[in-house]
């Protein structure tokens, strides 16, 4: 019991120190992600990428534009990692093409999990039991 309490204190201490870094937007402990009922956008994203048995004790969300690097080279100062939760890293154009799919442009947030739900609907398949996304209705509507 004492070792577990000590570990919790160390994790909390590191989380507090990490949160003081100007390049760190948010810090979550495994305990917060696993047990907290308080949800905000950042916590939800961290929870979605968190696996209680295999993830670390802390999850950091870095500030926009901050890209961690292990070496300072010319190449490491260019581009992005596509690993942040910000729009410049997560926005990907989505193209649907085929018979009876209307031509249109959609300007709303679509989650990546919506793709599986839409494909299942498009192919007349039963929705997979673990599906969390919603069907992208614009793919089927001429309106």
Query: How many structural domains compose the chain?
Result: 2
| pTM as predicted | 0.65
Distance CA 15, CA 55 (A): 15
Residues 76 and 123 both lie in one domain: no
pLDDT score recorded for residue 86: 76
How many helices (H) does the chain have, and how many strands (E)? 5, 2
* Tokens linked to 109: 């947030």
What is the tens place of the pLDDT at every residue in 11-48?
Answer: 999 999 999 999 999 999 999 998 877 778 889 888 88
Angle at 119 between CA 115 and CA 138, to 5 degrees: 70
For 58, the domain range is 2-88
Residues 133 and 70 both lie in one domain: no
Cβ atoms of 81 and 67 within 8 Å: the answer is: yes
């Amino acid at each position: 019991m004492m070792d577990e309490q000590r570990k919790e204190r160390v994790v909390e201490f590191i989380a507090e120190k990490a949160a003081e870094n100007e390049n760190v937007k948010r810090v979550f402990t495994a305990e917060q992600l696993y047990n907290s009922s308080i949800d905000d956008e950042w916590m939800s994203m961290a929870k979605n990428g968190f696996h209680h048995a295999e993830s670390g004790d802390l999850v950091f969300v870095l500030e926009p534009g901050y890209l961690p690097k292990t070496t300072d080279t010319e190449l490491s100062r260019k581009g992005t990692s596509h690993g942040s939760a910000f729009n410049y890293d997560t926005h990907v154009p989505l193209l649907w093409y085929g018979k009876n799919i209307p031509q249109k442009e959609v300007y709303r947030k679509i989650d990546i999990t919506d793709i599986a739900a839409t494909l299942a609907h498009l192919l007349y398949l039963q929705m997979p039991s673990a599906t969390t996304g919603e069907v992208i209705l614009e793919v089927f509507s001429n309106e």
